[in-house]
Amino acid sequence: MNIVKVQLHNGERLPMLLDSQGLPVVAVNEWIMSRRNRSLNTLSNNLQELTPLYVWLESRGEDLFSLIRSGRFWPETFTSALIECLRRGQRKGKKLAKLAVRPDTFNKRLSTVLRFLNWCFYVVLSDQELGARREVISEVQDKVNHALKDGYHSKEPSNSEVKKGLTAMQARFLQDVLDPESAMLVSSPQTKLRNYLIVALMLLLGLRPGEVLSLRLEDVEFGALTNVRVRRRRISAEDTRSCPASVKRAGRILVLDYPRLEKLLNSYAMKDREIAVRRANGKRSNFFFLSRDGKPLSESSVQAIFKRVRRAYPGKLPGNLSAKSLRHSFTDGLRRELKLQGYSDDEIRAILMYLRGDTGRESQDTYIDYQGQSAEAQKAYWLKVAGSRGADDVPV
C-alpha cells in the first residue's frame, strides 16, 4: 500500500491510495473525493489511518464491497482481528514496526475506519435491487458498529510535567533572540526580519502556521490601525509547495495596534521581500512571506526556526518549543488577561472564538493551562484554610 499526492489543473492537491500492484484503491479514493473540502493533511492522515484496514483485507483475501453485499454476519473473531490489526504498527520499508501504536493513534484509526465502513454500507444499501437483503445488511451494519465502538481505548493521561505554552519570560526571550536588531542569532538581515515577523504574528495574534503562510500582500492593510485579514481560499495553481498552506478555520480581521511590528512589516513588504522577488527570475508571487529564492515559504521552513533556537538556547527555551507552543501561549495568556479585566467565562469564550477563528466553543480548551491555573487556585485556598502550616520552615 502506498499513498501518492495528485495535483489537479486548478492547483488542488488530493492524496490517493494505491494497492500493492500500484493501482488505485477505488472505494477509499472515492470516499476521499467526497471529503475534498478538507485540507490535504487531513485527507492524507485519513488514508494513513485506513491503510491497516486494507492491509488486513488483502491478507484475508476479502473484497470489502463483496463482503458487505453478501450480507454475511461478521463474527466476533472477525471484528476482533480487525481491531488487533489497527492496534499494530505498520512496517515502512525495511524499518521494524512497533508492536503497538499509542492509544490516541489507535482511536484515530478506529474512528476513521468506522466512518469509512459506514459510508461503504450506505453505498451498498442505496442499491434499489437489494430487495429483502437490505434489512439483513442494515442489521450487520449495526452489529459491526457496536462491536468496533467497544474497542476504543481510554485517553492517555496528559504529561503534567510538560508545559505546552511559554512563560512570559520565555516568550520575551524568544523575541529577543529573533529580533532583527539583536546579535544573539546570526543570520542574513532579510531572513532574520522575516522569521521574527512570522513568530511575532503567531505569538501576538494567535495565527496558525498555515494562516501565516497563506497571507497575501493585500491581506496586510497598513493604515492608522494595521489590519491582518485571515481569508479562506481555494488552493492556487501558483502555489508550488508540495504541501500548500491553507486556512482551516473561520476568516477574520485582526487589528495589529503595535507600532514597531507594523513598521517592520511595512519594511519587509517594501524592501526585503522585493529582494527575494528579484531572485525569482520573473516568477512573481503574491504571498506575503517568501523564501530566499522568491517562492512561497514552506511550513518546514517555519518549523526550522524553532528547531534552530531550541538547539541554540536549550536552557532558556523549552525542549518542546514549536509553532503550536505560541498558540498555547496566546490562548492561555489572553484568557488570563481577560479574566483579570472582569470578563465572564461566556464573554471570554466568545472573544477567543473570534480571535482564533473557532467555530466550536470548546475548541480553545486544549490550549488553556487549566492545570496550572487550578494549582494556583489550590495554593491560595490552602493558604486560607491552613495558614502557614505548609511553609518550609515549619518544624515537623
pLDDT in tens, 282-304: 678 899 999 998 889 999 999 99
Q: Is 119 helix (H, G, I), strand (E, B) or coil?
A: helix
CB of 15 closer than 8 Å to CB of 5: yes
CB of 318 closer than 8 Å to CB of 166: yes
CB of 358 closer than 8 Å to CB of 247: no
CA–CA distance, 176 with 72 (Å, rounded to integer): 66
Give the cell for residue 112.
476513521
Residues whose CB falls within 8 Å of the CB of residue 117, separated by 6 or more in sequence, listed in order: 144, 148
Give the cell for residue 132.
429483502
Cell 498558540 sits at which residue?
A: 327
Lowest mean pLDDT among 15-29, 93-107, 340-354: 93-107
What is the edge-to-edge ordering of all strands in the sheet holding 226-230? 220-221, 226-230, 252-256
Q: Is 165 exposed, middle or buried (0-12, 13-18, 19+ CB in 10 A)?
A: buried
Q: Is 177 exposed, middle or buried (0-12, 13-18, 19+ CB in 10 A)?
A: buried
Which residue type does 96 have? L
- Rounded to the nearest 10°, the torsion over CA 322, 326, 353, 263 is -120
Lowest mean pLDDT among 121-135, 192-206, 296-310: 121-135
pLDDT band of 323, cuts 50, 70, 90: very high
pLDDT band of 376, cuts 50, 70, 90: low
Note the pLDDT of residue 379: 67
Q: How much of the chain exceeds pLDDT 90, in percent?
A: 35
Return the beta strands (E) in the chain as ranges. 2-7, 13-18, 220-221, 226-230, 252-256
Note the pLDDT of residue 360: 74
Give the cell for residue 129.
435491487
**Domains defined along the chain, listed by start:** 2-149 (no CATH), 160-396 (1.10.443.10)
Give the containing element (helix H, strand E) for 302: helix 299-312
Cell 532579510 sits at which residue?
A: 190
Note the pLDDT of residue 74: 81
CB of 110 closer than 8 Å to CB of 86: yes
Residues whose CB falls within 8 Å of the CB of residue 21, separated by 6 or more in sequence, listed in order: none
Output the pTM of the full model.
0.74
pLDDT of 254-265, one tens digit each? 998 888 999 999
CA–CA distance, 368 with 384 (Å, rounded to integer): 26
CB of 254 closer than 8 Å to CB of 205: yes
Alpha helices in the chain (DSSP H): 26-34, 40-60, 64-70, 76-87, 103-125, 133-149, 168-178, 189-205, 209-213, 259-267, 273-278, 299-312, 323-340, 345-356, 370-386
Bridge partners, 95 (sequence order): 92
Residues whose CB falls within 8 Å of the CB of residue 318, separated by 6 or more in sequence, listed in order: 163, 166, 170, 310, 325
CA–CA distance, 79 with 86 (Å, rounded to integer): 11
Angle (CA) 300 234 11, round 5°: 70
Number of C-beta neighbours around residue 32 at 10 A: 21
